[in-house]
Amino acid sequence: LALRNDLQQAMDTEALELHYQPIVDGHTCRVVSVESLLRWRHPERGLIQPSQFIPLAEETGQIIRLTEWALATACQASHALRKHGLLDVRVVVNISPLYFQRADFVQSIRRALQEAGLPGTALEIEITESLLLANKEEAVTKLAELRELGLYTSIDDFGTGYSSLNYLKNLPVDKIKIDRSFVTDIVTDAADAAISQGIISMAHHLGLKVVAEGIETEAQLAFLKRNHCDEFQGYLLARPAPMEALIASLSAGN
């Protein structure tokens, strides 16, 4: 429970940070977006991973403030990118199911953009497939509203939940992300290769782009390129980094 108070404090101080990991378009080889990832530097416990404190924040309800903080910080990051001439790099924010399900979810996105003076095209939202199952009608409405604002949306961790590709039908999203668990052994495991190829093919037929995450080797990247995956993310291309470091590397011509 100490962690709960600490999290509150972390949001008020500089202990909480977003790091940003580039996502590269396979056709143009340009960075099209950067995924924001939470990092918490705890004074006594050291670096705490989101997998340790997001579930806690969801339990205590702090996820609401945390997401609002992340949205506002991502908007600042977008301004920093724009200032450096990186006008079409979108900042991706991970959205917890609890936050997505709130009645005023779309309004909170609109407000964050308005307060920062940014167009919807500045942001991209990642949501896990699990949350979409709960109430499809409502999800469709919200996703359509986001699209109207100009945001892109992606389905994160695709293939790990219970939804089928058929479920994607009529869902107004732009991309799906092949989960890292399929990418890891994509070159050596025939099943993982087949699943990934199936996801890419079906997604393309539904008019969606495919992002592969967790790419660590040239062989994985080559396989995914050969199979027409659209966008790439992973340590091979770039690790998550603070905004200053990201801008330095992007300005250097990456």
Question: Which residues contact Na ion (rule: CB under 5 A)?
Answer: 156-157
* 3-state class percentages of the chain: helix first, strand second, coil last, to nearest 5: 50, 20, 30
Contact string 2-31 vs ligand G (x = CB under 6 A) = -------------------x----------
Cβ 9 to Mn ion, closest distance in Å?
Answer: 26
Residue 124 contacts which entry, ligand G, Na ion, Mn ion, none (Cβ below 5-8 A, type-dependent): none
How many whole angstroms separate alpha carbon 15 and alpha carbon 46?
10
DSSP class of residue 14 equals: S
Site string for Mn ion, 126-165 (x = CB under 5 A): x-----------------------------x---------
Does 94 help bind ligand G (rule: CB under 6 A)? yes
Task: Tell me, residue by residue from 97 to 126, as one string, x for binding to ligand G by CB under 6 A and - for no binding.
Answer: ------------------------------
Q: Which does 220 bind (CB under 5 to 8 A by kind): Na ion, ligand G, Mn ion, none?
A: none
216-to-128, 209, 232, 240, 250 alpha-carbon distances in Å: 22, 21, 11, 13, 20
Q: Contact with ligand G (CB under 6 A): which of 13, 49, 141, 251?
A: 49
How far is Cα 76 from Cα 80, in angstroms, rounded to an integer? 6
Q: What is the DSSP letter of 13?
A: S
Question: What is the separation of C-alpha 70 from the centre of its chain, rounded to a whole number of angstroms?
Answer: 12
User: Whole-angstrom Cα distance, residue 31 to residue 29?
Assistant: 7
For the chain, the farthest-separated pair of C-alpha atoms sits apart, in whole angstroms, at: 50
> Does the footprint of ligand G cover residue 235 (CB under 6 A)?
yes
Taking the least distance from each CB to Na ion, the nearer of 50 and 120 is 50
Q: Work out whether 154 is an interface residue with ligand G (CB under 6 A).
A: no
Which residues contact Mn ion by CB under 5 A? Answer: 94, 126, 156
